[in-house]
C-alpha cells in the first residue's frame, strides 16, 4: 500500500540556522533517503521550493484566478514529500518518525487512494 508522507515546517525557522546546521540537516535527509531506498519502500520524493515561488489556481464562475503562493493562515508550510510503499499505516508512521523534520515540524501520513 502506498503512503504519502507530507513534510511540514515553518520556512522561517531555518532562516537563522548556521551553515553547519543546514549541512547537518541535509546529511540527515540523505541518510533517511538512503534508508528507505535500502529497505525497498521508496517510490518517490522531492523537496519543494519556498512558498513564495508557488502560485495558487482557483476557477470561479468559469474564470481562472491565479494568486501568488499558497499563503495559508498556518505557521508551517509543505516543504516536501516521500511516497513510500508500506504494508500498513503503522509501518508508514514508523518511517515518518525518522524524517528529520518530524522533530521540529510535522509529517502528515496519508494513504494513497486506489480505484480498482
Residue 66 lies in a domain: yes
Chain position carrying cell 501568488: 68
Per-residue cell: 87: 504494508
Residue 45 CA to residue 88 CA, distance in Å, equals: 19
Residue 86 lies in a domain: yes
Residue 62 lies in a domain: yes
Residue 116 lies in a domain: no
pLDDT in tens, the chain (116 residues): 999 999 999 887 777 888 999 999 999 999 999 999 999 999 999 999 988 888 889 999 999 999 887 666 677 889 999 999 999 999 999 999 999 999 999 999 999 999 98
CATH number at residue 85: 3.30.70.1060
Strand order in the sheet with 2-9: 42-47, 77-85, 2-9, 106-111
Residue 88 lies in a domain: yes
Helix, strand or coil for residue 83?
Answer: strand
pTM surpassing 0.85? yes
Q: The domain containing residue 69 runs over which residues?
A: 2-111
Residue 97 CA to residue 82 CA, distance in Å, equals: 13
pLDDT digits (tens, 9 = 90+) for 28-45: 999 999 999 999 999 999
Total number of domains in the chain: 1
Amino acid at each position: 500500500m502506498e503512503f504519502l508522507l507530507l513534510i511540514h515546517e515553518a520556512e522561517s525557522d531555518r532562516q537563522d540556522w548556521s551553515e553547519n546546521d543546514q549541512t547537518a540537516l541535509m546529511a540527515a535527509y540523505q541518510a533517511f533517503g538512503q534508508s528507505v531506498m535500502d529497505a525497498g519502500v521508496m517510490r518517490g520524493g522531492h523537496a519543494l521550493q519556498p512558498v513564495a515561488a508557488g502560485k495558487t489556481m482557483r476557477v470561479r464562475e468559469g474564470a481562472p484566478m491565479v494568486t501568488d503562493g499558497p499563503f495559508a493562515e498556518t505557521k508551517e508550510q509543505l516543504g516536501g514529500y516521500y511516497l513510500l510503499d508500506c504494508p500498513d499505516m503503522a509501518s508508514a508512521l514508523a518511517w515518518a518518525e525518522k524524517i528529520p523534520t518530524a522533530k521540529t515540524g510535522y509529517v502528515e501520513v496519508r494513504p494513497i487512494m486506489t480505484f480498482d
